[in-house]
Amino acid sequence: MAEVTFLEALRQGLWEEMERDDRVFILGEDVGLYGGAFKVTDGFSKRFGESRVIDTPISEAAIVGAAAGAAHMGLRPVAEMQFIDFISCAYDMLTNYVATARYRAGLSTPMVVRGPCGGYVRGGPFHSQNPEAAFLHTPGLKIVYPATARDAKGLIKASIRDEDPVLYLEHKWLYRRIKEQLPEGEEILTPIGQARMARDGKHLSIISYGATLWKSLEAAEQLEKADGVSVEVLDLRTLLPMDDAAIVATVKKTNKVLIVHEDTRTGGIAGEIAARINEQAFEWLDGPIMRVTAHDVPLPYAPTLEDFVLPQTEDIVKAARWLAAY
């Protein structure tokens, strides 16, 4: 066992897949000799050469489009968005071209688009976004969003091996904050489409993912200690396809649900989860499905503003306490 950070686990996963399969290659901005803005691909160019770690112009649409073309031809591209905020520049290419390719034209497009997302790091409006809701509405894409180092590694490997295009979201607040003991020499693969029970509980369920998964766990500890409320926490890990069975199972177990995400509220993923619970487990609910999310504003820069806008542990505690007493 060795202690690795979230970022190192991701890096290991990429590295292992590059070693295992010479069809895998990386393209993106500053990913080569520089090793990526966050050093996820540090050392890759030296090991695998410039033809498998390709520095591109600042052209997100071309990066994703070229990855798609290469994927059609049997390669396994991993396209990096330097910050996931810039994926909006490739929105057309991903949603119209890539995601529809299998359905409309029978084209295989096994590719990964990955990049650092999320706030709590004073990144301001364009280095903090969580774009998952914009892509949840896109049949043909898969979206994974690991919260642990183990899943960072297991999901990047599974994404590269998947036959369909995968959007891999990696929260930069977790990059060096999360450390975990991972076994050496053991293959770690996290199946896409399966949620993970992050904490067992019986009075109330929190459904979350990414950075707010950790804040939800922190809130659960506090509620246990202060109120004696037993909180279950479900880590979705994959947002598309969503693990309905795991969601329904936790609802049936605790009968109360709080959904926590860092993305803004209106049109956020919590709405979709709530709708599914209504359709599939309405009669098991003992209270309204509640949400803790960011406020509906672009994410501001100043610490006072950012902290106010993003969901904090105390927000989750308050909401959960209210729901537990309902």
Partner 1 sequence: MALPATRPTAAFPTGAALSADQLLEIYYFLRLTRTLEERLVALYRQTKVIGGLFRSLGQEGESVASAYALERGRHKDILSPLIRNLGSLLVMGAQPVEILRQYMAKAESPTRGRELNVHFNDLEKGYLGQISHLGDMIPVMAGIALTFKLRREPRVGLVYIGDGGMSTGTFHEGLNLAAVQRLPLVVIGEYNHWAYSTPPDKQFAVTDLAEKAKGYGVQAVTVDGNDVFAVYEATRFAVERARRGKGVHFIEVKTYRRKGHAEHDDQHYVPKADLERWASENDPIDRYTQRLLGADMVAEGDLKDIDDRVRVEVDQATDACVDEPLPPAESALPGVYVDPPSADKLWFKAL
Instruction: Exactly one of 72, 127, 171, 295 is catalytic; name it.
Output: 127
Q: Which is nearer to partner 1, 108 or 312 (CB)?
A: 108
Half-sphere exposure of 183 (CA within 13 A, CB side): 6
Q: Which is nearer to partner 1, 8 or 29 (CB)?
A: 29
State how far the Cα of 225 lies from the Cα of 219, in Å rounded to an integer.
10
Q: How far is the CB of 241 from partner 1 (least distance, A)?
A: 4
State how far the Cα of 22 lies from the Cα of 27, in Å rounded to an integer.
14
Q: Which is nearer to partner 1, 67 or 223 (CB)?
A: 67
Q: Which is nearer to partner 1, 74 or 185 (CB)?
A: 74
State how far the Cα of 129 lies from the Cα of 133, in Å rounded to an integer.
11
| Residue 295 bears catalytic tag | no
Nearest 10 degrees: CA dihedral of 131, 132, 138, 141?
110
Q: How far is the CB of 242 from partner 1 (least distance, A)?
A: 8
State how far the Cα of 203 lies from the Cα of 286, in Å rounded to an integer.
10
Q: How far is the CB of 263 from partner 1 (least distance, A)?
A: 22
Q: Where are the beta strands (DSSP E) in 156-305?
A: 166-171, 179-182, 196-199, 204-208, 231-235, 238-240, 257-264, 290-294
Q: How far is the CB of 139 from partner 1 (least distance, A)?
A: 5
Q: How far is the CB of 39 from partner 1 (least distance, A)?
A: 24
Contacts 24+ apart (CB under 8 A), 220-224: 220/320, 222/313, 222/317, 223/317, 223/320, 223/321, 223/324
State how far the Cα of 128 lies from the Cα of 120, in Å rounded to an integer.
8
Q: Which is nearer to partner 1, 124 or 140 (CB)?
A: 140
Residues near partner 1, by CB under 8 A: 25, 51-52, 54, 56-57, 59, 61-75, 77, 92-93, 96-97, 100, 102-108, 139-140, 142, 163-164, 193, 241, 244, 279
Number of Cβ atoms within 10 Å of the Cβ of 171: 28
Q: How far is the CB of 202 from partner 1 (least distance, A)?
A: 28
Task: Check: CB of residue 113 under 8 Å from CB of residue 141.
Answer: no
State how far the Cα of 282 lies from the Cα of 274, in Å rounded to an integer.
10
Number of Cβ atoms within 10 Å of the Cβ of 246: 19
Tell me the CA distances in angstroms from 29 to 23, 26, 32, 90, 270, one per residue in order: 20, 10, 8, 14, 32
Provide the β-strand partners of residue 259: 207, 291
Q: Which is nearer to partner 1, 27 or 211 (CB)?
A: 27
**Residues with a known catalytic role:** 127
